[in-house]
Chain A
Amino acid sequence: MGAYLPLFVALPLLAGFACLLLKRAAPRAAPWLSVASMLGLLALAAVAVARRDAGVTFAGGWGVSGWGGNGGADDVVFVVGIALVLDGLSRLFLLLVALVGTASAVYALRYLEPEAGRPLFHVLFNLLVAGMNGALLAGDLFNLYVFVEVASIASYGLVAYRTGGTEIEAAFKYLVLGTLASTAILVGVTVLYAATGYLNMADLGVAIAGGAVPRLPLLFAAALFLFGFGTKTAAMPFHAWLPDAHPSAPAPISAMLSGLLIKTLGIYALARVFFVVVGADEQVRLILTLLGCLSMWGGVLLAQAQDDLKRILAYHSVSQMGYVLIAFGVGTWLGVAAGLFHAVNHALFKSALFLSSGSLERLTGTRRLSEMGGIFRRAPATSVGLVGACLSIAGIPPFNGFWSKLLILIALVSAGQPVVALLAAGAALMTLVTFVKVQRKAVFGALPARLANAREVPAAMYLPVLALVVLCLLSGLLWPLGVDGVIGAAASSLRAGAGERPAASEYIESVHGRGSR
């Protein structure tokens, strides 16, 4: 078991390099290679989730023979390699990356058709996915850092892809802040290594829970990780890059960045590092709650002043990540599960929204809400997709956004944090107001005269959006089934049962107990 784990990284890497190699011979193959690699990942992730696989594999495993022995295969003492760990949490996120990745790759087939001869987009796209999958599977802190950098550098390139002045400025800002964050993460890793001699996250978790790191270095490392991964999440004081970077990228990439990147490099890494390695004690959880409240309200308030549809969506990503952070701040099993459920839902509806924004831009020639209107008659499929995604993010039942926000509120109230719950409910109301406005201005109302001849976008552009909206609806209707099997398994990997055990025992067991020697 677990022998297929390296494929999650290798498949998109190979597809990416194949795009470059085939540049001359088959310049139009690149978009289809992306779709094929995403479908392959989807199949792999579906198998992993369906079989509930868990375990460790050592990529490039290389047996170390006992010193002084004969050095033969029978003399192997331990295996050295890159530890890739699959558990409930990484399974969930791998599936999510594959789902949103497939939707974005299919969307890009027609959206990027005018630039089909330039395979660079697909090289970076596959590199982005390889980096995210690697970060999800990395079993040690240093490889987590490396894969975070792989995904980040691919995303810097994709933000600058249009090479206009604004895009490169946004990418410059994103790169400077992103590299600063990565450097902070690396210093944190160094501090923990200096104190314990471990890089493996499970070993570190056990050592730190056993008091191997003195209080001051531990706090220093925790602060660095909070800044580093907080910046990757775009939590409020560290959010400045996101509202420029996400709208500057082409629509399928905005969907990947807002839907996936801030979750795999941000939310997932925060959860893994704080619940497994450093330990989420009361102070850490308080800081997560504070950051969450700030992001939730700051993002939603700043979004009110915007007219550019993509900037509105970008500020709402900051706001929605705030919900996930306050749910993690609760720290109970229910809180973690609700937070992860919301992260999954946000990935589905925010990528649908960003893909819709690309279709709207194609239809109307503008991203300004005030210049749109009444496209329902002209483009019913795009409109249905946009309205469905708006209802999901606004938290209208039976869409998924309602259930995850409700679960977060329940987790907050049952943990005795009614004030935070009130703040969350207020921010949810503000979100509703924004997206009612978005719908009214974009989809309904009077059709401006210059749009009288607007034509519906190709099916390859509206079908991925509709598929994501159907997933939003399914995830809203079937969540009692999914919470137990998929989301619950992910939360159990971080928090044992309803109890308050500090170490994530299931993760550590899956690394230590069932290693594939």
Chain B
Amino acid sequence: MTFYALTFALLGVGLYGLLAKRNMLKKVLGLVILEYAVNLLLVAVGYRAGRGAPILQPGEDPAAFVAGSVDPLPQVLVLTSIVIGLGATMLLMAMVLRLHQRYGTLDVDRMDRLKG
């Protein structure tokens, strides 16, 4: 339970960085923290206390294997999620670079040319 609480606290930290910070780099860091908090949550969901890695050995009894290993599915999901997160972060960093070249600042409030 403590672990879940900490994961959600980390989610909150990421959300705060993403929404409240004016510096674009800090926003990106917030987003990365947010994504990793979700990945952590996924792994935690699949974890079963005291069980081993889900690798089926030749000749191992299937029932004993299922009873003795953690849930492998969330680990697979996390791999996909990490790749997606990497793509989004790279794109975001490329945009931050371009915006910094153009405006010479990282402060979002000082570059807002878009009218609502």
A residues apposed to B, CB below 8 Å: 67-68, 142, 146, 149, 153, 156-157, 160, 163, 165-166, 168-173, 175-176, 179-180, 182-183, 186-187, 190, 193-194, 199, 243-244
A183 with B34: CB separation less than 8 A: yes
Q: Considering only CB atoms, which chain B residue lies closest to A170 in the complex?
A: B114
Q: Considering only CB atoms, which chain B residue lies closest to A189 in the complex?
A: B77
B114 with A244: CB separation less than 8 A: yes
Number of interface residues of B (CB under 8 A): 34
Q: Which residues of A contact B98 (CB under 8 A)?
A: 163, 168
Q: Which residues of B contact A156 (CB under 8 A)?
A: 88, 91
A244 vs B18: C-alpha distance when bound (angstroms): 19
A68 with B62: CB separation less than 8 A: yes
Say which residue of B41, B102, B116 sits within 8 Å of A165 (CB atoms).
B102
A169 with B113: CB separation less than 8 A: yes
Q: Considering only CB atoms, which chain A residue lies closest to B8 in the complex?
A: A187
Q: Which residues of B contact A166 (CB under 8 A)?
A: 113-114
B87 with A153: CB separation less than 8 A: yes
Additional A-B contact list (16), CB under 8 Å, known A175-B92, A193-B45 = A67-B62, A149-B84, A160-B95, A165-B99, A165-B103, A166-B113, A172-B99, A173-B114, A179-B88, A180-B34, A182-B84, A186-B42, A186-B81, A187-B41, A190-B42, A190-B45
Q: Which residues of B contact A179 (CB under 8 A)?
A: 31, 35, 88, 92
Q: Which residues of B contact A194 (CB under 8 A)?
A: 45
Q: Which residues of B contact A173 (CB under 8 A)?
A: 114
A172 with B35: CB separation less than 8 A: no
B74 in the interface (beta carbon within 8 A): yes
B residues apposed to A, CB below 8 Å: 11, 15, 18, 24, 27, 31, 34-35, 38, 41-42, 45, 62, 73-74, 77, 80-81, 84, 87-88, 91-92, 95-96, 98-99, 102-103, 111-114, 116
Query: For chain B, what secondary structure do more than half of its interface residues adopt (helix, strand, loop), or is it mixed?
Result: helix
* Given known contacts A163-B98, A165-B99, A172 and B77 CB-to-CB distance under 8 angstroms: no
Q: Considering only CB atoms, which chain A residue lies closest to B103 in the complex?
A: A165
A175 with B62: CB separation less than 8 A: no
Say which residue of A67, A169, A175, A193 sits within 8 Å of B88 (CB atoms).
A175
How far is the CB of A207 from the nearest CB of chain B, in Å? Answer: 16
Q: Which residues of B contact A146 (CB under 8 A)?
A: 80, 84
A175 vs B24: C-alpha distance when bound (angstroms): 12
Q: Which residues of B contact A170 (CB under 8 A)?
A: 114
The 5 A-B residue pairs whose C-beta atoms are closest, nearest first, are A67-B62, A194-B45, A165-B102, A149-B84, A172-B95
A170 vs B114: C-alpha distance when bound (angstroms): 8
A187 vs B34: C-alpha distance when bound (angstroms): 11
* Given known contacts A153-B91, A156-B91, A169-B99, A176 and B31 CB-to-CB distance under 8 angstroms: yes
* Given known contacts A169-B113, A186-B38, A194-B45, A175 and B87 CB-to-CB distance under 8 angstroms: no
Q: Which residues of A contact B73 (CB under 8 A)?
A: 193, 199
CB-defined A-B contacts under 8 Å, sample of 27 = A67-B62, A142-B77, A156-B88, A163-B98, A168-B95, A169-B99, A170-B114, A172-B24, A172-B92, A172-B99, A175-B92, A175-B95, A176-B27, A179-B31, A179-B35, A180-B34, A182-B84, A183-B34, A183-B35, A183-B38, A186-B38, A186-B42, A187-B38, A190-B41, A190-B42, A190-B74, A193-B45
A169 with B112: CB separation less than 8 A: yes
Say which residue of B34, B91, B111, B112 sits within 8 Å of A175 (CB atoms).
B91
A166 vs B115: C-alpha distance when bound (angstroms): 10
